[in-house]
Amino acid sequence: MITPILRRQLLRSARQTRCFSSAPIAAAQEIKRLGVIGAGQMGLGIALVAAQKVGVPVTLVDTNQASINKGLKFADKLLAKDVSKERITQEQSDKIRSLLAPTTSMDSLADVDFVIEAVPEIPSLKFSIFESLAQICPPHAILATNTSSISITRIAATTTKDPTDTSTSSRVISTHFMNPVPIQKGVEIITGLQTSQETVDTAIAFCKAMGKIPSQSADSPGFLANRILMPYINEAIICLETGVGSRDDIDAIMKNGTNVPMGPLQLADFIGIDTCLAIMKVLYEETGDSKYRPSVLLRKMVDAGWLGKKSGKGFYDY
């Protein structure tokens, strides 16, 4: 059943959409179950926020049971923290937790109305997932990706063998949430050439119901956030490797000089050094512009396995 919060967001979206027809609302009102693929930090965060803010059941899929167990343990920790700070009651916490339905089977997504893929930035993996989703999910379901760099048009194209048949590819979109999802308000809405306006309207309304502030971006390498952020981080790494400044001085001047909460090198550690490299490679390869060439030190750190916070060592030790 659609929640009061989601209903208000849908009605507000309808009033604000130019040349609006009844189709987007009809599609959005069918969001009775969400699917999330990937039980890592991003996927778990998306699932938890959707359950808490929108109140919809969430099918959480990950082929690795250990990842599911780790993700649910993290969810329990976040909910317990909210209870301890009196943000929610124990009863509300139990209700939110009961809405998360973990599974290792993609076939469990056969009854979802909206699915968000949140797996690592590996093009072949995402293409394979969307090819499967086109076969598993109902014909009305919106197929969203949390990709931070891969073309939405290319992802959408994997859902059909006939490019002239856009019945499925028109329902593919990117809802790129910012990390950590429970805290960050921003979400990028990126459309492919095939994406319909109905899909855009529904995705925006659903993200607003999750308490997020959507920004729309064209399907261009890096989109908005990473097109701006990653060259900034890459340049900071170049400054370090060429001796322009020390690690601490680079981070300190950006924190104290531009009022950002975290310096670029520490931020790279939290994002993941390998993720930064993957995105810089996409920017460089797809634009051919030398200003996006990944730093030599960035490549070396990935080769060394120094991936940041998740590996225990990056520009800082954890």
Do residues 174 and 144 lie in contact, with contact meaning Cβ atoms separated by under 8 Å? Answer: yes
* pLDDT: which is higher, 96 or 20: 96
Q: Which residues are annotated as part of the binding site for NAD(+)?
A: 38-43, 62, 121, 126, 148, 179, 310
- pLDDT surpasses 70 at 210: yes
Instruction: Delimit the domains of the chain by residue range.
Output: 34-218, 224-311
The pTM score is 0.84
Q: Which residues are annotated as part of the binding site?
A: 38-43, 62, 121, 126, 148, 179, 310
Q: Look at residues 57, 146, 65 and name the one whose alpha carbon lies nearest to residue 109.
A: 57
213-224 residue pLDDT tens: 999 999 999 999
- The span from the CA of 97 to the CA of 82, in Å, is 13
pLDDT band at 22 (very low <50, low <70, confident <90, very high): very low
> What is the full DSSP assignment across the chain?
---HHHHHHHHHHHHHSTT--SHHHHHHTT---EEEE--SHHHHHHHHHIIIII---EEEE-S-HHHHHHHHHHHHHHHHHHHHTTSS-HHHHHHHHHTEEEES-GGGGGG-SEEEE---S-HHHHHHHHHHHHHHS-TT-EEEE--SSS-HHHHHHTT-S-TT--TTGGGEEEEEEPSSTTT--EEEEEE-TT--HHHHHHHHHHHHHTT-EEEEE-S-TTTTHHHHHHHHHHHHHHHHHTTSS-HHHHHHHHHHHH--SS-HHHHHHHH-HHHHHHHHHHHHHHH--GGGPPPHHHHHHHHHT--BGGGTBSSSB-
Range 34-218 has CATH code 3.30.1050.10: no
Query: For 224-311, which CATH superfamily applies?
Result: N-(1-d-carboxylethyl)-l-norvaline Dehydrogenase; domain 2 (1.10.1040.10)
Catalytic site includes residue 148: yes
- pLDDT surpasses 50 at 23: no
- pLDDT surpasses 70 at 25: no
The predicted structure's pLDDT at residue 3: 52
The overall average pLDDT reported for the chain is: 91
Query: What would the mean pLDDT of 27-48 be, rounded to a whole number?
Result: 87
* pLDDT: which is higher, 2 or 266: 266
59-93 residue pLDDT tens: 999 999 999 999 999 999 999 999 999 999 999 99
Give yes or no on whether 34-218 and 224-311 have one common fold: no
Catalytic site includes residue 176: yes
Q: Which of 93, 117, 174, 188 is catalytic?
A: 188
The predicted structure's pLDDT at residue 6: 53
Q: Which of 13, 117, 169, 176 is catalytic?
A: 176
The predicted structure's pLDDT at residue 121: 86
128-175 residue pLDDT tens: 999 999 999 999 999 999 998 899 999 999 999 999 999 999 999 999
Query: What would the mean pLDDT of 229-233 be, rounded to a whole number?
Result: 97
Of 14-18, 129-133, 224-228, least confident by mean pLDDT is 14-18
The predicted structure's pLDDT at residue 148: 86
Q: Which of 151, 174, 226, 295 is catalytic?
A: 226
274-290 residue pLDDT tens: 999 989 998 999 999 99
Catalytic site includes residue 226: yes
Catalytic site includes residue 67: no
